[in-house]
Structure 1
Amino acid sequence: MAYSIAIERTSAPKTKPEVSRIGFGTIFTDHMFMLDYETGKGWHSPRVVPYQPITLDPAAKVFHYGQTVFEGLKAFKTADGAISLFRPDMNFRRLNRSNDRLSIPPLDEELALAGLKTLIGVDADWIPAEEGTSLYIRPFIIATQPTLGVAPSRNYLFMIILSPVGAYYAEGINPVKIHVESDYVRAVPGGVGNAKTAGNYAAGLKAQEEAPQGYSQVLWLDGVHRKYIEEVGSMNMFFKINGKVVTPALNGSILEGITRDSMIRLLTHWGVPVEQRQISIDEIAEAHRDGTLEEAFGTGTAAVISPVGELHWQGEKLVIGGGKTGELSARLYDTLTGIQRGTEPDPFGWMVRL
Structure 2
Amino acid sequence: MAAFGTVFMPEMALARFDGQGWSNPEIVSSDSLTLHPGAHVLHYSSTCFEGLKAFRHADGSVNIFRIDRNIARLAQSSELLALPSVDTAMLQQMIIDVVRRFASDVPEPPGSMYIRPTHIGTEAAIGKAAAPTVESLLYVLLSPVGDYFAGGDKTLRLLLEENGARCAAHMGMVKSGGNYASALQPIMKARASVQADQVLFCPGGDVQETGAANFLLIDGNEIITKALDTSFLHGVTRDSILTLARDMGMTVSERELTVSELLERSARSGAEAALSGTAAVLAPVGTLIHNGQEHQVGDGKVGPKTLQLRQALNDIQWGRAADTHGWLTRV
Query: Under a length normalisation based on structure 2, what TM-score does the superposition of the two structures give?
Result: 0.95
CA contact (8 A) 2:266 2:272 kept: no
Residue 211 (str. 1) matches residue 187 (str. 2): no
The 5 A counterparts of 1:128-207 are 128-129=107-108, 131-149=109-127, 150=129, 151-168=131-148, 173-189=153-169, 191-207=170-186
Query: Under a length normalisation based on structure 1, what TM-score does the superposition of the two structures give?
Result: 0.89
CA contact (8 A) 2:45 2:178 kept: yes
Which residue, out of 271, 283, 307, partners 1:330? 307
How far, CA to CA, are the matches of 2:152 and 2:146 in structure 1?
Answer: 9
Distance 1:27 1:117, change over 3 A: same
- Provide, for residues 49-80 of structure 1, a one-character-per-residue CA deviation record: whole Å limited to 9, x for no partner: 12221111111111110011100000011122
Which residue, out of 70, 89, 98, partners 2:68? 89
Q: Which residue of 2 aligns with 1:6?
A: none
Q: Which residue of 2 aligns with 1:343?
A: 320
- Provide, for residues 262-314 of structure 1, a one-character-per-residue CA deviation record: whole Å limited to 9, x for no partner: 1111111111011000001111112244x256110111112111011111111
Q: Which residue of 2 aligns with 1:26?
A: 6
How far, CA to CA, are the matches of 2:83 and 2:183 in structure 1?
Answer: 23
- Please state how far the C-alpha of 1:199 moved relative to its aligned partner: 0.6
- Please state how far the C-alpha of 1:197 moved relative to its aligned partner: 0.7
CA contact (8 A) 1:23 1:167 kept: no
Structure 2: gaps (5+ residues):
none
Which residue, out of 235, 246, 257, partners 2:235? 257
- Provide, for residues 232-266 of structure 1, a one-character-per-residue CA deviation record: whole Å limited to 9, x for no partner: 12211111124321011112111111011111111
How far, CA to CA, are the matches of 1:198 and 1:168 in structure 2?
Answer: 22
CA contact (8 A) 2:13 2:98 kept: yes
Structure 1: gaps (5+ residues):
1-20
Residue-pair matches, total: 327
Aligned residues: CA RMSD: 1.6
Equivalent pairs: percent with the same residue?
35
CA contact (8 A) 1:188 1:252 kept: no
CA contact (8 A) 1:284 1:293 kept: no
- Provide, for residues 214-248 of structure 1, a one-character-per-residue CA deviation record: whole Å limited to 9, x for no partner: 322111113xxx20100112211111124321011
Q: Which residue of 2 aligns with 1:237?
A: 215
CA contact (8 A) 1:95 1:196 kept: yes
Q: Which residue of 2 aligns with 1:46?
A: 25
How far, CA to CA, are the matches of 1:140 and 1:314 in structure 2?
Answer: 38
